[in-house]
Structure formats: C-alpha cells, structure tokens
Amino acid sequence: MNGTTAQSATAPAVPTKADLIEEFAAIGNAYYQDFAAVAARHGLTSVQAKALAVLVRQPLPMRGIAEQLVCDASNVTGLVDRLETRGLVRREVGASDRRIKIVAATEAGEAAIRAVRADMQTTHQALDLLSDGERSVLFELLTRLRPVLEQKS
C-alpha cells in the first residue's frame, strides 16, 4: 500500500490519506456510473435524476436547486421545464416573496426516483457483500463524513 512500514502480513499498515482518497474516488465514480446508467434506462438523464432525488428530500427554489447541482441558476429553468413537462415536478409561487418559485417533486417524481434506486442492482449487490455488523460500521462512518462532505468547497 505505502511500504513505509514493515508489519506482518495479517496486520497491514494504516492506509495513507492518498490511498483512501483514491479508493473513495473509485467507489464514488463507480456508484455514479450505476446511478447514471440506471437513470438512463428509466428515461432520465443523470442530472434530471439527481435533481429529482434532491427535490424528493425537500422542495427548493430554483437557486437552491442550482446550488445542489453545482451549476449556474440559468440552467435550472430548462431542467425544471423538462421535468415539469413530464409531470415529475411542480412549480409553486413563493408565499412571502413572489419572485421565488418553489419546485417540488410530484408523486410521479417520487415514484420515478424510488424506481431508479430500487433498480441499482450493482450497488445493491456490492452492499450485499457486507455482514450486518459491517453495514453498521460503514453506515456510522459515512454518517460522520456526510455533513462535512456536503459543505461547499
């Protein structure tokens, strides 16, 4: 792995942060590929599916969607247009500020993202490799990482 320490074969050295980053990158890319491929089979681009997944968690104004997608706000108009045409999301005028439009996933939108997640067989198969105890450990570690990882860079 890093070769800086000579330990026994049964107790490998602690991985360097670079090792972990590389593994994290590979896992992140592989997950995203499964997500994009399954979304495509369901007639959604990866961006449409990602937007839908975000909106299922909570309704957001146009600019909030842009933040979540890390893209310019101008793109969100067309993106939401296409999702709205297919009945997957709904625009609602903001109550306090009429400039704001709140976008929410419809029932059809929620069903679509549920179907995509259920169909991510590669990811399911990978997680099936773990025992209950390992799943608990992984879940706990990821839950710790998530708040920091979701901050803006």
Partner DNA sequence: TATTGTTATACTCTATAACTATA
Partner DNA sequence: TATAGTTATAGAGTATAACAATA
Cα–Cα distance list, 142 to 5, 135, 139, 145 (Å):
28, 10, 5, 5
Under the binding rule (CB under 7 A), the answer on residue 61 touching DNA is yes
Residues 14-53, one symbol each (x = binds DNA by CB under 7 A, - = not), give --------------------------x----x-xx-----
Nearer to DNA, 100 or 120 (CB): 100
Nearer Cβ to a second copy, position 108 or 142? Answer: 142
Q: Are 65 and 76 in contact (CB under 8 A)?
A: yes
Cα angle 5, 145, 40; round to 5 = 110
Residues that bind a second copy (CB under 8 A): 12, 14-15, 17, 19-38, 50, 53, 69-70, 117, 120-130, 132-139, 141-146, 148-153
Cβ 21 to a second copy, closest distance in Å? Answer: 6
Task: Quickly list DSSP for 49-117.
Answer: HHHHHHHHH--EEHHHHHHHHTS-HHHHHHHHHHHHHTTSEEEEE-SS-TT-EEEEE-HHHHHHHHHHH
CB nearer a second copy, residue 77 or residue 121: 121
Looking at 31, 59, 75, 115, which residue binds DNA (CB under 7 A)?
A: 75
